[in-house]
Structure 1
Amino acid sequence: MSVRRLAEDNIQPAAFAFNRENSAWAEKAIAKYPKGREQSAVIPLLMRAQEQDGWVTKAAIEHVAGMLDMPLIRVLEVATFYTQFQLKPVGTRAHIQVCGTTPCMLRGADELKRVCQHKIHHEQFHTNEAGTLSWEEVECLGACVNAPMVMVFKDTYEDLTPDRLEEIIDAFEAGNGASVPVGPQIDRIFSAPEGGLTSLTDGNGAATPKSAGQAAPDSASIPPSNAAKPVTHDETTNAAIKSPSRVKATKAAEDATSKPAAKPVAARTIKNPPIAEGSLGEKPDVQGVDIAAKPVSLEDKSRPAAIERPAVIDDLKLIAGVGPKIEDILHELGIFTFAQVAAWKKAEREWVDNYLNFKGRIERDEWVKQAKALAKGGEAEYIKVFGKKPR
């Protein structure tokens, strides 16, 4: 690994302090650790400092060391060892991390790096002339099946071509990064095969039915190769001698070959299946996927009150976790303004969370808190509360 050093003194800010929101967050983060182990919070605090300023400054390292009563050299060691910490200023609108590990390299990562060299700067860790964009090559980012891919801040963009990466860079440069859907950039759902299903088929290559209106395949359609191998009496006896605990498993295998398969539970298609949307966009449409979700009634008294669509509506996509698809669903529910979301009570939040099958994401992403800030003072208030721009 190459030596990592702090940025030159002439570009280092004179001081650092967490804003009010991040300061409160830092105190809670430190309190999570046992007495005498508070220094374990060093990585979370450095990451929060980076999210606030865009990079880890010398002043931030000194500030974190003081908060944790930790020798400065120890915090410096952490900041310079982990490559997740940016030690020099990065692009204010996008810092693009290009995966160069083997799967991405084999599928065109070198071409993506050339795009970054052409569109941003020939060298890594240098911003473009406007200071809005920067890039670097990194090790595996965990989306090998959708190689090649890049990461911008906390979101990944996968199945890239050089042309598509140019379009994404242009969108961020223009301040429209939120309009770019995260995840696969081709017609696939998450990490599913490009050409459609290759598993969970009826045995003849056709996909199994997905909606409740279609009959599920019976046991006769399962290829013989999938059936349990019959177990002889001698084999059972030998298994019992070697390991009595295997007798039950063997008996279960015999039952599986002699008893008809249990009738599968009918799946239901919910109107709005879960759509995992990142902070900068949405995942591909997965309408029609069968999901065993808790039924949600549109007549439930906990459903947030709907209003008629006003002449001017708020851009709900500014709320981290809301992309174009989720915004459309909220509009269908009569939710058009930040003020409506900001007024949601606990029961209403839980109803919307269940309706979207988000499994608590609305609380984790603090939709109500975000909406209150945006309703109160727009982007300026959001930055004041969260220490960064919305989305």
Structure 2
Amino acid sequence: MSGLGSSLSHSSSESQIMSLGTVTLPPLVNGRAWTIWLTMGMTSLMSSELSPLDMTTGGGSSFSSTSSILTPLPPVGSLYMDLLVMTALNFISILHTKTELAYRDINVCRGHWLSKRLRGLDPYEVMVKAQLAALLEVSAHPKPGNIHRFRDRWGKRFEHFIAGAVALGPPVREAFTRGLKAWSRGQLSLIGLGRLVRIAVEHQLKAHSGGNTHLGVIMLFIPIAASAPAWINSPSPSIIERALVEVLRATTPKDSVELLKAVRKLKPSGLGKPPKGLPDASKSCRTDLSMYELLKASSKWDGVARELVEGLPVTLSVGLPSLLKTYEETGDVNTAVVQCFLEILSRAPDTLIARNVGLALKPNSTIDEAVQAGMAEASWVSEKAREALALGGMLTSKGRRFIEKLDLELESRGPSYNPGTTADITASSIFVALLMGRRLI
């Protein structure tokens, strides 16, 4: 204690501060007054729904300026501190270290508590919503041509998708956390979308042995989570669209390199050869294109890429309204998810089906040529989805029987007839609904 006291005795200015790790504390003053102040402040923190963690915004700010729940500072006086004060300071210091504490990702934006700014939504809640969205999508049945809870197909099991849905949670949480900081500082390019996609893919590969199960979902969920701090309080379609596109436009060639590394690790089916001028992930991960530019070029033949660069048009105008409307009418999440899937499939021919069928017809073609060659079959599947909806879809017994027959028919045609892009956009529709605060179960 004498060392601490002597080190501060040369100045009694109120502007003097003591830095403790990443925490910036106000001047040390009368010990017993500080004891009372800290005890009251900590009690307020612990009894509230807020979190005192990670209170700095880059440059650092004192408790007195950022926290509205601590009591006013005691008057300047003796610099001696008793044991309780030191214990309290050490406790606060521990809370501020970058450890895996329960709520370490609760952040402050420009001096305001995240939980006040974002309707109580914290990164862990975003993680759970992402996992739940992926789980609800794969569990819904019967989604024609997809793997679901009653149908394992083509070497992949339902359990592979369950494991993959859980594994994508932490990277989505990190995307939200980094997005929050980036939006507050106006530095969206520092989010690192490509790196987060790669990390999510690596988590997926460690979680199960089923290969690629969630690449499209990951590519949708990571940018959605990173953009969410900008729209979560006012989740209108136009605001969501603008925020998502702004996040993507801020990406760099480094993000593209990381994305290509992720694709290379997974070796997803139906990848094919890229058109001239675009990088081939099977050979090289180098490119001068930003991730946005790479996705924009790919959007001509890839439904997930198009969904991203255009600001989630199918998610927001087709999937989300159908999901919410059906759930409000039935109260059944399985019915709502399958109906949402059919609505998306009926209006947007599945590019994964088109690509896979096209590559089977023309093995040496580029991706865009393959999609063009297979689009007739993808359109046929969309027509079948429209027939199912015309019969009532999941809302009538006749519609359900038609859907079950279509499910078996697509399976009989082989893995090329798996509407995987439709499943990905169904998952993004569920994720956005959950982020908006809608309860589906």
- TM (norm. structure 1) is 0.27
Name whichever structure is richer in helix by fraction: 2
